[in-house]
Structure 1
Amino acid sequence: MKRMKTFAAALAVAGTLLVAPAASAATVAPEQVAGNTQLSEVRDMTITPEIEDQQWFQKYGDDPRVLKLEATSPAMNGRVVPISVIKAKDANRPTIYLLNGAGGAEQNADWLNMTRAVDFYANKNVNVVIVQGGAFSYYTDWNTSPNREYLKGPQKWETFMTKELPGPLEDRLQASNKRAVAGMSMSATSALLFAQHNPGFYDAVGSFAGCAATAAPFEYEALRLTVNRGGGQPEQMWGPMGSRQNRYNDALMNSEKLRGTELYISSGNGLPGMTDMPSYYTKQGVDPTVASVGAATLQIEGGVIEAGVNHCTHNFKAKLDSQNIPATYNFRDTGTHSWPGWKEDIRESWPVFERALN
């Protein structure tokens, strides 16, 4: 049963490297982005039964490499948001904000549970911040709260993560004024938008298998497929398709605002690879029947999603190329919309982040 759950979690969010020259460093500090916004209170995490049930905590609750914090969000009526931090060994070090995908920690589909991010970043001497909340929210500010399922109460995630949180959190971490933001799938879009809405705040951005465009028919309906899983509609989030707010949150339309920021952008092509085959999972001890069913789901559903992502990402590259905005691309020869590709992205994005942050 445990093996089945592990494989199901992997399905929950079901190339060649082209290296870009260095971009200019970020210069904007958290207090400039925050303005008059009321800031978060950052403190040690209160370990609730809900937190204890989450697999990331079961793995790393006693691991001293992972700092367990929580922060209030004034914009979300004082909501308390759990935060895990892979702590830099020294003070005055950069910070990477690593955004979870659609299901997030609430569905045990987060970076700490699904990858070996702790092992990878532990010796890199950077702070890696993972907000363990916000499932299906796109980490954006919603016009209207659905007040259903995962999307209950005010949804003001961009305000929280770009204005309320960075100053107090980075002060606590004794971090430098250098930072990056990266996300996968749903949050690959969010990472691009955070940088576009706050020029000069992020030195680097990682967009792992996401879609920059949001305001065209196909892409808008892709938003719907994601937020529906959390009980919401894209109209509640950004208004009607093509509205002013929707266009403001279309990273393809606003690509010029990424000039000067280091970019790492990736995608598979939807064709199944080694990690999409039943044998990949049976070698890990998964029951052969479960592995076969799961692999079929990855190859069909995950393949269709990643083919769409691949189309989006090539359109994004074409736009950036036309504007002479450099980026490092990782277009994989195979790969569905699943965790093995995003695990690779942690490794492959590091040279880009290291160049920008150090």
Structure 2
Amino acid sequence: MKRMKSLAAALTVAGAMLAAPAATAAEKAPADVAGDTALSEVRDMEVTPEIEEQKWYQKYADDKRVLKLEATSPAMDGRVVPLAIIPADNPDRPTIYLLNGAGSAEQDTDWLNQSEAVDFYADKDVNVVIPQAGAFSYYTDWNTSPNKSYLKGPQKWETFLTKELPGPLEKRLKSNNKRAIAGMSMSATSSLLLAQHNQGFYDAVGSYAGCAGTSTPFEYEAMRLTVNRGGGEPEQMWGPMGSRTNRYNDALLNSDKLRGIALYISSGNGLPGKTDMPSYYTQQGVDPTAASVGAATLQIEGGIIEAGVNHCTHNLEAKLKSQNIPATYNFRDTGTHSWPGWREDLEKSWPVFEKALS
């Protein structure tokens, strides 16, 4: 009898969960998320010598399709963050926050330099905001700043991106209250986390070749490899593995908080494809020796990383399916951890975003 009652109770709870309406995305305005947080000052970009040296700026300095702004971050002691923006053609349009990967613009590994993002979004009539800083930060709030290399000063990127920036920036862009967030590699994890931590703020999320889990040994040590490149340790970022802050920033553990958001999730499998072969680059005029060395790096290092990402992403798929949370998946049957896949994701995620933002 007790077993029957327990089973009945469990079925009742499960039924209630399935019957419960999904959380309405973007029901919150920037002011709701910001609360009493001091806000950014958004202004025209002051082009510093450092920015002049970056390839994205050299490529788009005179291109009127790219609006160059900057925003202060009170939480990061007034740090000035450069913003590259592909503005919508009309007012009252949605905003997509597109985050760079590990090296960001500081290492010329950003969306503007490495993809055709400007050409692709130019006719989509949405505002696309790309912060051109934040290398190796995971775009998160760190417990303790390493204060060296790329991670100097307070690292409070989540506060900046979700509380300080949206209100002033979206007012300047005359945006509506629909928004999405997307990222690749390092920031694929960040995109999931920022949406989970701010439910009701984003209509859609794109996670391109990232790892949702962060609090188990393999994933935590993989994260260490990324932040080490910037001069930091994951313990400085989220505390020891499995700590409360680490678990809060584990998107796999908190996957239920993605309910009601349109999701696009992708991964290659680590096996080399045609874009990982020397011939792909020699056909573009790359020196054969350089093409061979580069292809070998992609196939070995990029292959190992993407195989791990593939494992992480299938874990997320299994978890979301067990929770009846729908998502659009793009599991490529080849592909290393490299830009050709992320350029594909830029295009293939658009129908998901377009529907969610309409």
What's the TM-score once normalised by structure 1's chain length?
Answer: 0.93
Instruction: State whether residues 211 and 309 of structure 1, in contact with CA within 8 Å, keep that contact through their aligned partners in structure 2.
Output: yes
Question: Quick one: distance in 2 between partners of 1:57 and 1:26?
Answer: 32
Q: What does residue 47 of structure 2 align with?
A: 47
Question: Quick one: distance in 1 between partners of 2:201 and 2:95?
Answer: 12
Instruction: State whether residues 99 and 131 of structure 1, in contact with CA within 8 Å, keep that contact through their aligned partners in structure 2.
Output: yes
Instruction: State whether residues 23 and 356 of structure 1, in contact with CA within 8 Å, keep that contact through their aligned partners in structure 2.
Output: no
Q: Tell me the secondary structure at the aligned position of residue 349 of structure 2.
A: helix
Using the aligned pairs only, state the percent identity.
80
Instruction: State whether residues 264 and 329 of structure 2, in contact with CA within 8 Å, keep that contact through their aligned partners in structure 1.
Output: yes
Question: Quick one: distance in 2 between partners of 1:268 and 1:117?
Answer: 20
Q: What does residue 192 of structure 1 align with?
A: 192
Instruction: State whether residues 207 and 265 of structure 1, in contact with CA within 8 Å, keep that contact through their aligned partners in structure 2.
Output: yes
Q: Residues 23 and 204 of structure 1: is their aligned pair in 2 closer, same or farther, counting only changes over 3 Å? A: farther
Question: Quick one: distance in 1 between partners of 2:142 and 2:31?
Answer: 23
Question: Quick one: distance in 1 between partners of 2:25 and 2:221?
Answer: 36
Q: What does residue 289 of structure 1 align with?
A: 289
Question: Quick one: distance in 2 between partners of 1:64 and 1:89?
Answer: 12
Q: Tell me the secondary structure at the aligned position of residue 101 of structure 1.
A: coil
Shift of the alpha carbon at 1:25? 3.8
Q: What does residue 12 of structure 2 align with?
A: none
Q: What does residue 217 of structure 1 align with?
A: 217
Q: Which runs of 5+ in 2 are unaligned?
A: 1-21
Question: Quick one: distance in 1 between partners of 2:62 and 2:47?
Answer: 12
Map Cα deviations across residues 217-269 of structure 1 (whole Å, 9 max, x no partner): 00000110000000000000000000000000000000000000000000000
Shift of the alpha carbon at 1:26? 2.0
Shift of the alpha carbon at 1:24? 4.5
| Map 1:1-358 → 2, pairs under 5 A | 24-358=24-358
Q: Which runs of 5+ in 1 are unaligned?
A: 1-21
Question: Quick one: distance in 1 between partners of 2:45 and 2:26?
Answer: 30
Give 1 or 2 for the bigger CA radius of gyration: 2
Q: Tell me the secondary structure at the aligned position of residue 97 of structure 1.
A: strand
Q: Tell me the secondary structure at the aligned position of residue 112 of structure 2.
A: helix
Q: Tell me the secondary structure at the aligned position of residue 119 of structure 2.
A: helix
Question: Quick one: distance in 1 between partners of 2:43 and 2:271?
Answer: 45
Question: Quick one: distance in 2 between partners of 1:147 and 1:26?
Answer: 35
Question: Quick one: distance in 1 between partners of 2:275 and 2:264?
Answer: 22
What's the TM-score once normalised by structure 2's chain length?
Answer: 0.93
Instruction: State whether residues 142 and 155 of structure 2, in contact with CA within 8 Å, keep that contact through their aligned partners in structure 1.
Output: yes
Instruction: State whether residues 23 and 262 of structure 1, in contact with CA within 8 Å, keep that contact through their aligned partners in structure 2.
Output: no
Q: Residues 173 and 34 of structure 1: is their aligned pair in 2 closer, same or farther, counting only changes over 3 Å? A: same
Instruction: State whether residues 25 and 199 of structure 2, in contact with CA within 8 Å, keep that contact through their aligned partners in structure 1.
Output: no
Shift of the alpha carbon at 1:23? 8.5
Q: What does residue 17 of structure 2 align with?
A: none
Q: What count of residue pairs does the alignment treat as equivalent?
A: 337
Question: Quick one: distance in 1 between partners of 2:112 and 2:180?
Answer: 18
Q: What amino acid does structure 2 have at the position aligned with 1:335?
A: G
Question: Quick one: distance in 1 between partners of 2:26 and 2:143?
Answer: 30
Q: What amino acid does structure 1 have at the position aligned with 2:348?
A: E
Question: Quick one: distance in 2 between partners of 1:28 and 1:262?
Answer: 16
Q: Tell me the secondary structure at the aligned position of residue 130 of structure 1.
A: strand
Q: Tell me the secondary structure at the aligned position of residue 316 of structure 1.
A: helix
Question: Quick one: distance in 2 between partners of 1:311 and 1:111?
Answer: 25
Q: Residues 23 and 346 of structure 1: is their aligned pair in 2 closer, same or farther, counting only changes over 3 Å? A: farther
Q: What amino acid does structure 2 have at the position aligned with 1:337?
A: H
Shift of the alpha carbon at 1:197? 0.1
Q: Tell me the secondary structure at the aligned position of residue 269 of structure 1.
A: coil
Question: Quick one: distance in 1 between partners of 2:137 and 2:226?
Answer: 9
Shift of the alpha carbon at 1:116? 0.4
Task: Give the CA RMSD over aligned residues.
Answer: 0.9
Q: Which one has more relative contact order, counting CA pairs under 8 Å at least 6 apart?
A: 1
Q: Tell me the secondary structure at the aligned position of residue 146 of structure 2.
A: coil
Map Cα deviations across residues 267-295 of structure 1 (whole Å, 9 max, x no partner): 00000000000000001110000000110
Q: What amino acid does structure 1 have at the position aligned with 2:70?
A: E
